[in-house]
Structure 1
Amino acid sequence: MSIKFRLIVMNFLEFFVWGAWLISLGGYMFNVLHFNGVQVGSIYGTMGIASIFTPALFGIVADRWLNAERVLGLCHFIGAGMLIWASTLHDYGTFYVAMLLNSFFFMPTIALNNTVSYIILERKHLSVIKDFPPIRVWGTVGFVCAMWLVDLTGCSLSPLQLYISAGAGVILAIYAFTMPPCAPVPNTKRSFASSLGLDAFTLFRRRKMLIFFIYAMLLGFALQISNAFASGFLNDFARDARYADSFGVRHSVLLISISQISETLFILTIPFFLRRFGIKQVMIMSIFAWVFRFGLFGIGNPGSGLPFLVLSMIVYGMAFDFFNISGSLFVEREADIKIRASAQGLFMLMTNGFGAWIGTYISGRVVDYFTTDGVKDWHSIWLTFAAYALALGITFPLVFRYKHDPTAATPAFQH
């Protein structure tokens, strides 16, 4: 069995675990557990809280003490247990604790999955820039397969979605322990900061990396907006008799899955765009894709405006991949080999941690501001978010100093 195929399986399972509940859990909490909007938002916010702490923490463990593939496996074992526990709960407080604990152990696996993939590819003398995106695309396929499985089997309003996720998590945990060993890099002379795994934070000393991480956080905000409100936005059309029986309302999860299908296509273009344009231009493309993502939502509806919604789903692939996947590759190339897992954890900290946490709070305030007597003015909400992304797109090229040389030996990145 080729190593590429083994990594494909690992990436497929990694995102299958997440896709089985990320989009559909909100409907289950609203309609079955009868949680209110603040409670649902806070449970989704557990991913942001966890990402502030545990990706960097477990990255340190993988850099200093324990093989990265073993850390990945242990996290999935424990995370699966938390999901099984959550599936038995009906009160908000305990459910919140279970999902928070699951987030503590699941969120680090996203960065660890990348780290294991990068290490194995390099040890097999393969190109991370060229060979990883076609492998990572299968992660998105796994996410979509999980979404479709949950929707088409009628589990989107059932705790069975958590069992599906937990089952895949256990399989991945066992599988991770069979992967080639990704041992910590030996380092006999360590400072106090090095012993604590804080070396990755030295990346902030470099102006280029500091600005990159700040904008990564701000784009993490944009991603949280999309995750938190896309499904609720579509479900709100059920209040309008013109759209209540439309496909976009009845199968909102399937409609949203077009976004993930789009990801599979754009991931495959990343090697070309990074080699041809470099990280700065790729990030600019991502930011303006977010402008279109939100703007198209603002003018779309499940009826005559359905093409705008579909276009928004399609452009999401560029918005997400050109920021998330390309950003991870950029951090991998810029970080020293001894802090590669910690650096990936730091990237997660800024995007899915601080970015998601701040995004949950501020975007919720924006939605409340444009809500009158329980009715949300989604047109104004989405155009406000589009204006935010536009401001990022205007300022980023002015402050991020980077010169791309497409003729260099490692053309996607220049130090």
Structure 2
Amino acid sequence: MNIRLRLIIMNFMEFFVWGSWLISLGGYMFNVLHFKGQEVSDIYGTMGVASIFTPALFGIVADRWLNAERVLGLCHIIGALLLFWASKVTDPQMLYYIMLLNSFMFMPTIGLNNTVSFIVLGKSGFNIVKDFPPIRVWGTIGFIAAMWMVDLCGFNLSPMQLYISAGSGLLLGVYAFTMPGCPPVKSAVKRSLASSLGLDALVLFQRNKMVIFFLFAMLLGAALQITNTFGSAFLGDFANTYPDAFGVKHSNILISISQISETLFILAIPFFLRRFGIKQVMLMSIFAWVFRFGLFAIGNPGSGLWLLILSMIIYGMAFDFFNISGALFVEKEADIKIRASAQGLFMLMTNGFGAWVGNKISGRVVDYFTVDGVKDWQSIWFSFAGYALLLGIVFPLVFRYKHVPSDEKVAVSH
């Protein structure tokens, strides 16, 4: 089989596994299992906890002892078995621990998937910078396809979504073992444990500009998963007022507009970076989150459907403009010797600590505005919008960075 096609299948399946449950599980836990907001957010927060520890640890295993494709396969197989178990559980505490173990297995696979792709492309003589993005975009397509499949099969509020994820994860786990070998690279220079864990990037904290940047990366990271956690449950609560509305019956398809928007805004990033600079692009992202949450607050699946659709479109700017431009900023500011570690630190602050803090706080906000089981979604979303607005006001005042167009051109070209 053509090596590009094999990698396309691997990337498609990698995110199909995640998309099968990430958006819809919150609605299942809220509306079927009747979990509290804090219980739901804690379960989603397991991904943040896992992102702090296991990606680096499993990366060390793949770097030193075991082929990367085998580590990838084992993680998916074990994760699939945990998801099969999770589908049978209705106790919030037990489900938390199972999903924590699953997150420990799944979160490292995102990086391992990239590692296997890079090694296989390199061995086959491809240009990684040129040939990987068209392969990786199939991951986003796989995520969207999974959301649509779960929705059209009527599994948004069913444990069947976990069966679909587990089944596809099991298939991917076996498939990974058939990929070309990606053995550990023998190095003449023995890396320290601290270096392998990316701790050498902590030197960046000696500069005030980077301290402020990473602090805001964590604070904005707190907002990244909120609509994934509560979006489906929010739309499901309109079942009594708009029982026949498209957004209620097909919440996953409506939310998938967000992922489609992501793919489009990625293409716009080079233009915006050259025209406005990294600081302004990151500021656009922060205010995009204000509109993302604010439009959720005033929208509904009936007459306000267009407001929800607009919120989904804005998500692409909110998510991509900070993640991509932030990664480019780190790439530009970090010494070449610690670039990989610096990127790991950026991901740790956003998807690790940030996501964990965000889920802890957001669950309490949802419970605070819940009375006798009825959620005041407008107040909930306005609270999140207010949080993002506060970040947007403070960020340009404390983050000192001058836009030099030539610098941004260099960063984008990389």
Normalised to the residue count of structure 2, the TM-score between the two structures is 0.85
Q: Secondary structure at the match of 1:230?
A: helix
Q: Which position in structure 1 is the counterpart of 2:394? A: 395
5+ unaligned residues in a row in structure 2: which ranges? none
Q: In the alignment, residue 286 of structure 2 is paired with which amino acid?
A: I
Q: Which amino acid aligns with 1:394?
A: I
Which residue is 1:13 aligned to? Answer: 13
Q: 1:255 to 1:96 in 2, by over 3 A?
A: same
Is the CA contact 2:222–2:350 (under 8 Å) kept in the aligned structure 1?
Answer: yes
Superposition deviation, residue 81 in structure 1: 2.0
Partner SS, residue 225 of structure 2: helix
Question: Aligned residue for 2:378?
Answer: 379
| CA RMSD, Structure 1 to Structure 2 (Å) | 3.3
Structure 1, unmatched stretches of 5+, are: none
Structure 1 94/239 Cα, relative in aligned 2: closer, same or farther at 3 Å? same
Confirm or deny that 1:97 pairs with 2:97: yes
Q: Distance in 1 between matches of 2:112 and 2:282?
A: 23
> How far apart in 2 are the matches of 1:347 and 1:369?
31
SS at match of 1:237: coil
Q: Distance in 1 between matches of 2:162 and 2:147?
A: 12
Residue 138 (structure 1) shift: 2.1
Query: Counterparts of 1:218 and 1:54 in 2: how far apart (Å)?
Result: 22
2:299 aligned residue: 300
C-alpha spacing 1:86/1:371, structure 2 compared with 1 (3 Å): closer
CA distance in 1, matches of 2:160, 2:369: 35
| TM-score scaled by length of structure 1 | 0.85
In structure 2, relative to structure 1, the CA distance for the partners of 1:196 and 1:106 (3 Å cut) is closer
Q: Distance in 2 between matches of 1:270 and 1:120?
A: 28
Q: Aligned pair in 2 of structure 1 residues 203, 287: CA closer, same or farther (>3 Å)?
A: same
Q: Which residue of 2 aligns with 1:283?
A: 282
Which residue of the partner structure matches residue 311 of structure 1?
310
What's the secondary structure of 1:238's corresponding residue?
Answer: coil
> How far does residue 165 in structure 1 lie from its aligned partner after superposition?
1.1
Q: Distance in 1 between matches of 2:34 and 2:336?
A: 48
* 1:354 Cα deviation after fit: 1.3
- Report if aligned partners of 1:279, 1:412 keep a CA contact under 8 Å in 2: no
Instruction: Give the direction of change, closer, same or farther, for the CA distance of 1:365–1:399 in structure 2 (3 Å limit).
Output: same
Q: Distance in 2 between matches of 1:340 and 1:63?
A: 17
Counterparts of 1:36-47 in structure 2, within 5 Å, are: 36-47=36-47
- Matches of 1:71 and 1:338, distance apart in 2: 26
SS of the aligned residue for 1:412 comes to helix
State the distance in 2 between where 1:275 and 1:121 align.
30
Q: Which range moved further: 4-13 or 338-347?
A: 338-347
Residues 1:337 and 1:233: Cα distance change in structure 2 (over 3 Å): same
Residues 132-151 of structure 1 aligned to structure 2 (within 5 Å)? 132-151=132-151
**Partner residue of 2:322?**
323
Q: Secondary structure at the match of 1:22?
A: coil
Q: Deviations over 1:230-266 (max 9, x none)?
A: 22221222243xx232221222222111111212222
**Aligned equivalents of 1:31, 1:245: Cα separation in 2:** 17
Code of the aligned partner of 1:198? L
* 2:194 paired with 1:193: yes
Q: Note closer, same or farther for the CA distance 1:332–1:149 as it changes in structure 2 (3 Å cut).
A: farther
Aligned residues of 1:111 and 1:345 also touching (Cα < 8 A) = no
Figure out how many residues of one structure are paired with residues of the other and give that number. 412
Contact 2:198 2:345 in 1 (8 A): no
- Asked whether 1:205 is paired with 2:206, we answer yes
After superposition, the C-alpha distances for 1:74-113 in whole angstroms (9 at most, x for unaligned) are 3222212211222233443433222110011111222333
Distance 1:376 1:333 in 2: 44
Q: Decide which moves more: 316-325 or 130-139.
A: 130-139
- The one-letter code matched in structure 1 to 2:288 is A
Instruction: Provide the rounded CA distance (Å) in 2 between the counterparts of 1:108 and 1:252.
Output: 29
User: Structure 1 pair 39/368, CA: closer, same or farther in 2 (3 Å)?
Assistant: closer
CA distance in 2, matches of 1:189, 1:116: 22
Q: 1:307: how far off?
A: 0.7
Matched, 1:221 2:222: yes
- Aligned counterpart, 2:256: 257
What displacement does 1:19 show?
A: 0.5
1:34-113 to 2 correspondences below 5 Å: 34-113=34-113
Contact 1:278 1:412 in 2 (8 A): no
State the Cα distance separating 1:401 from its structure 2 match. 3.9
Q: Which moved more, 1:303-312 or 1:284-293?
A: 284-293
| Counterpart-to-counterpart distance in 2, 1:213 and 1:184 | 31
Quick check: 1:72–1:113 contact (8 Å CA) kept in 2? yes
Separation in 2, partners of 1:412, 1:82: 41
Hey, what's the Cα distance between the residues in 1 that align with 2:128 and 2:326? 16
Q: Which moved more, 1:40-49 or 1:397-406?
A: 397-406
Q: Deviation of residue 206 (structure 1)?
A: 4.3
Bigger mean CA deviation after superposition, 55-64 or 356-365: 55-64
Percentage identity across paired residues of the two chains: 74
Question: C-alpha displacement at 1:46, in angstroms?
Answer: 1.7
**Residues 1:367 and 2:366 are matched in the alignment:** yes
Cα distance, 1:280 vs structure 2: 3.0
- Aligned AA for 2:226? I
Question: Which residue number in structure 1 is paired with residue 238 of structure 2?
Answer: 237
The AA in structure 2 aligned to 1:358 is V
Show the counterpart of 2:173. Answer: 173
| 1:293 shift after superposition | 0.6
Q: For residues 338 and 166 of structure 2, what CA distance do their matches in structure 1 show?
A: 30
